[in-house]
Amino acid sequence: MATRQHGFRTTSRMFAWATATWMPLLALALPGTGCGSLPTRDPDKAWAHPTLSISSFIEHGEQVTLVVGTRPAFIRRDKAYMGLEFAVSNNGLESLTVSRESFTLLDSQGRQYPAVDPEELRDAGYSVDLDRRLGEMLPVLVDRFQSYEYVRSNFTPGYADPVERSPVYLPRFSWTYGFIYFPYPPDAQKNQRYELLFKAPEVDDTIVIRFLLEHRGS
């Protein structure tokens, strides 16, 4: 019994010595563990709204939820137009009007751009059908709004879906999804921060969602 007690005390002393000796060294050696070396958050990501999926951002409100997806614009960033996925849900209003004119793009210089109409895209030879295949947030939205009614919209008709549906009217607990287009700012290669503004006659304030898009020249 005495031998076991002596061994236990010896082991305890050794553990206390090792802890006191090595833990401060480990704290200095491991990145982010020392008080003076805490990792700093990316300022761009801190500025932007929370992400819903890999390339989408969300602004969730009591009355309206707004989502913007950037994957089509990122992949086709050599084009003259910025194609964005969007989704809008009505969470508490009797009705919510959503149209192409509801959206405005704000760049980091404070310049505003209205959404491009289908005629301009057609005249420029821009294929909106390709963007439909590049979008990635629809499955995430279907899961998120599974208890909501889906209202079909189409602000930019293409070959696969030639019928324009704008505006659309969302009853309470419904949502819509689609694509919206803006001209790239003239110095787009220098811009990464953008804001999508949404206005509706049923909502007093403009809804804003801040998002990131990699430089056009990258």
pLDDT tens figures, 164-204: 999 999 999 999 999 999 998 877 666 689 999 999 999 99
pLDDT of residue 55: 92
For residue 217, being part of any structural domain is answered with no
Domain count, the chain: 2
Residues 30, 111, single domain; the answer is no
Residues 85, 161, single domain; the answer is yes
**CATH code for the domain in which residue 159 is found:** 2.60.40.10
For residue 191, being part of any structural domain is answered with yes
For residue 166, being part of any structural domain is answered with yes
Q: Where would I find the beta strands (DSSP E) of 61-206? A: 64-69, 81-90, 95-98, 103-106, 112-114, 149-150, 168-171, 174-183, 193-198
Residues 32, 130, single domain; the answer is no
Residue 66's SS3 state is: strand
Residues 61, 123, single domain; the answer is yes
pLDDT of residue 15: 44
| Angstrom distances, CA of residue 161 to CA of 128, 156, 203 | 10, 9, 30
Closest to 62 measured CA to CA, from 179, 203, 209:
203
Domain of 12 in residue numbering reads as 2-37
